[in-house]
């Protein structure tokens, strides 16, 4: 996977009220970039633009060398795992186990391999005892873990995680940290959108600060 590049992107939800204002940024595919800033500064919006979920009104986002405007969600999904701030947005199945297997089954891949992968992720995220439960009966922390597990199931090349530690207790946050370190050692880069400063300091090799839709600080430009 090549870098993700945004070139003077502008984005508005409502006409003439841009929330991302001519942002340019180059994100190295193997690095860990944190996106920080106050509530409403545009972190989630920029994350979705970098993930190809939203398309810029002007300017361009390049994902793995391709212009995001020309990419379908499936093109993007094969490269980038995107964690929504609200984990409920990930839920498409009626049980935890099915939630992990659904994409695999749609692609008609080897069921044994899918089962093994699902089992490993359920174990890792401590959801084995909930395998048959409806996702809608899970706590927020469990849902967040399930959402992460379902993204990691398809082994993406890059991760964009919006508030991954929200709703996790201290122990589970440490477990998530350890897991992300393992994932990173495999060469998977990520963008972490987070208000959790300790988590950001621990993982990020670069910190980008947004304010009112603009990048106002980037630790990379200090080097
Ligand atoms: N679906 C939407 N429709 C209209 N305006 C929106 C929508 N989503 C976000 N906004 C507005 O866009 C701006 C940026 O929002 P965004 O969610 O990207 O910020 P954020 O930095 O992720 O905030 P938070 O830290 O609260 O998650 C805010 O002014 C917000 O009110
Ligand atoms: Mg947000």
Q: What is the pLDDT of residues 8-62, one digit of tens each?
A: 999 999 988 999 999 999 999 999 999 999 999 999 999 999 999 999 999 999 9
Residue 17 lies in a domain: yes
**Atom of ligand 1 at shortest distance to CA of 41?**
21
Q: Please name which ligand lies nearest the alpha carbon of 161.
A: 2
Residue ID of nearest Cα to ligand 1 atom 5 = 13
Residue 113 lies in a domain: no
- Is the pLDDT at 107 greater than 90? The verdict is no
Task: Say how far apart CA 41 and CA 210 lie, in whole Å.
Answer: 6
Residue 137 lies in a domain: no
Residue ID of nearest Cα to ligand 1 atom 29 = 40
- Domain interval for residue 49: 1-79+159-164+189-223
Least confident of 25-34, 147-156, 211-220: 147-156
Residue ID of nearest Cα to ligand 1 atom 12 = 19
Q: Which residues line ligand 1 (CB under 6 A)?
A: 13-14, 19, 37, 39-45, 85
pLDDT digits (tens, 9 = 90+) for 72-101: 988 898 899 999 989 999 999 999 999 999
Residue 172 lies in a domain: no
Mutate to test the pocket of ligand 1, among 16, 36, 41 (most ligand atoms within 8 A of CB): 41
Mean pLDDT across 108-130: 88
Task: Tell me the two tokens of residue 153.
Answer: 């199931």
DSSP 17: -
What's the CATH code of the domain at 213? 3.40.50.300
Task: Say how far apart CA 73 and CA 79 lie, in whole Å.
Answer: 10
Mutate to test the pocket of ligand 1, among 17, 44, 83 (most ligand atoms within 8 A of CB): 44
Residue 67 lies in a domain: yes
Sequence-ordered list of residues with C-beta below 8 angstroms from that of 8, at least 6 positions apart, any chain: 22, 23, 24, 58, 59, 60
Residue 16 lies in a domain: yes
| Ligand 1 centroid, distance to 37 Cα (angstroms) | 12
Share of the chain above pLDDT 70, in %: 98
Task: Say how far apart CA 156 and CA 146 lie, in whole Å.
Answer: 16
Tell me which residue has tokens 């300790």.
198
The number of folded domains in the chain is: 1
Per the CB < 8 A criterion, the answer to whether 76 and 53 are in contact is: yes
| Ligand 1 centroid, distance to 121 Cα (angstroms) | 31
CB-hemisphere CA count at 13 Å for 101? 21
Residue 36 lies in a domain: yes
Residue 122 lies in a domain: no
């Amino acid at each position: 996977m090549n870098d993700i590049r945004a070139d003077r992107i502008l984005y508005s939800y409502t006409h003439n009220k841009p929330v991302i204002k001519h942002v340019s940024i180059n994100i190295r595919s193997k690095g860990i970039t944190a996106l920080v800033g106050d509530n409403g500064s545009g972190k989630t919006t920029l994350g979705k633009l970098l993930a190809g979920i939203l398309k810029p009104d002007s300017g361009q986002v390049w994902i793995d060398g391709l212009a995001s405007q020309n990419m379908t969600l499936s093109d993007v999904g094969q490269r980038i795992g995107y964690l929504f701030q609200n984990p409920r947005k990930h839920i498409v199945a009626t049980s935890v186990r099915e939630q992990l297997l659904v994409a695999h089954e749609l692609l008609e891949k080897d069921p044994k391999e899918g089962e093994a992968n699902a089992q490993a992720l359920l174990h890792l995220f401590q959801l084995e005892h909930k395998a048959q439960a409806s996702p809608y009966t899970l706590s927020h922390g469990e849902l967040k873990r399930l959402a992460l597990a379902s993204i990691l199931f398809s082994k993406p090349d890059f991760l964009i995680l919006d508030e991954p530690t929200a709703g996790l207790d201290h122990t589970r946050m440490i477990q998530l940290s350890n897991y992300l370190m393992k994932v990173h050692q495999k060469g998977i880069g990520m963008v972490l959108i987070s208000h959790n400063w300790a988590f950001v300091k621990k993982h990020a090799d670069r910190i980008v600060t947004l304010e009112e839709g603009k990048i106002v600080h980037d630790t990379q430009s200090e080097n």
